[in-house]
Amino acid sequence: MSVKFIGYIGFNNGSETQSAVRSRALDKDYVEAAAKAQEKGGFDRVLIPFGSNSPESQIVAAHAAAITSTLGFLVAHRPGFTQPTVAARQLATLDQLSGGRVAVHIITGGADAEMARDGDTRSVKAERYARTDEYLTILRQEWTAAQPFDHQGKFYDVKQAFSAVKPDNLPVFFGGSSPEAIDVAGRHADVYALWGETLESVQDSVRQVRRSAARYGRNPGFSLSLRPVIADTEEAAWKRAAEIEEQVRENRTAAGLPLTDHRPANAGSLRLLETASANRQDKRLWTGVAALTGAAGNSTGLVGTPEQVADAMLDYVDIGIDHFLIRGFDPLADSILYGRELLPIVRRKVAERTQADLALAG
């Protein structure tokens, strides 16, 4: 049993508690501090997100890789804008120059408006997943083919493609909860990533993706995104969560943004909004920010002392989660806190479990 921790470098130290509208401004000092702090804090990787108004995730990863030595990178990448053969060589180059520290997170894009900002004005989501499927087939071929290859498909047509630069072992992470996403994830994902739903609905997604992957003889890992709120006492932790919720409500109200009746375009957010039908779910899953913001991303958290949150994480490990993607509402300070207080406890509990399992197995 192993658990990996994925942190986050969101281009600046902003979050929903600082401003209602997410800033994608690039803060070089923050990027460097966040990379070094999460490497020092024992994170295995950091996610570098991507949006149609954001800095380029690969370039941010290249900069962070140059100032770190062991930290891995999970580079969010959206198919459909770069030719897959070119993207494959870009990622392989970054992987080689970073000493094999790169993984890619494939995001197909839930909202048409988001896609249109980069010029994809015609596609619809189901079609985008079909394109992602073909894109990932070519990406892997470019990474692995020993000889030039041809590909003729619905979206791409390449002749005698060949890459002189190959990645060591570049894992493909995959996000998306639409029915089409589950099939493509089954065929291509090394790790399927989802947001922080209840134990029951996460178990449902794990089962669906495992069933889909089994059709292709594959056995993916699973990553769960959370916003842990930890403090010395449970009471103090829930008080902190309530303060965060109040700050987010104030920011959105001041910005004239809705607090309810959200209609997100992507299925993942709709599932998370369902989870947010109650402010608390399971033992300590808190959904307050997801309910206020329309669950546009990683927006639910486990609340309690580090020991309590670690136990709640182990409940997810029991249903197949082997990666946790975590970030706070005070990104840099919280990543340092998680490295000091949370990661060591979870790793200790996982090691104890493994020992106990081995002892049982005799």
Residues making contact with ligand FMN (CB under 6 A): 49-51, 76, 105, 107-110, 175-178, 181, 193-195, 225, 266-268, 325
Q: Give me 159's structure tokens.
A: 């002749």
Distance of CA 332 to the CA centre of its chain: 17
Would you say 107 or 237 has its CB closer to ligand FMN? 107
| Least distance in angstroms from the C-beta of 296 to ligand FMN | 9
Would you say 120 or 307 has its CB closer to ligand FMN? 120
* 352 burial via Cβ count (<10 Å: 0-12, 13-18, 19+): exposed
The values of phi and psi at residue 213, to 5°, are: -70, -35
Question: Which residue(s) pair with 221 in the sheet?
Answer: 191
Measure the CA–CA gap between 179 and 198, rounded to whole angstroms: 19
* 215 burial via Cβ count (<10 Å: 0-12, 13-18, 19+): exposed
Would you say 9 or 310 has its CB closer to ligand FMN? 9
Candidates 100, 116, 260, 110; CA nearest to 171 is: 100
Would you say 158 or 226 has its CB closer to ligand FMN? 226
Query: 277 Cβ partners below 8 Å, 6+ apart?
Result: none
Would you say 202 or 310 has its CB closer to ligand FMN? 202
Measure the CA–CA gap between 340 and 243, rounded to whole angstroms: 23
| Least distance in angstroms from the C-beta of 124 to ligand FMN | 11
Measure the CA–CA gap between 155 and 183, rounded to whole angstroms: 18
Would you say 38 or 163 has its CB closer to ligand FMN? 38
| Least distance in angstroms from the C-beta of 130 to ligand FMN | 13
| Least distance in angstroms from the C-beta of 148 to ligand FMN | 32
Name residue, tokens 């089409």: 180
Would you say 209 or 241 has its CB closer to ligand FMN? 209
| Least distance in angstroms from the C-beta of 144 to ligand FMN | 25
| Least distance in angstroms from the C-beta of 321 to ligand FMN | 12
| Least distance in angstroms from the C-beta of 125 to ligand FMN | 6
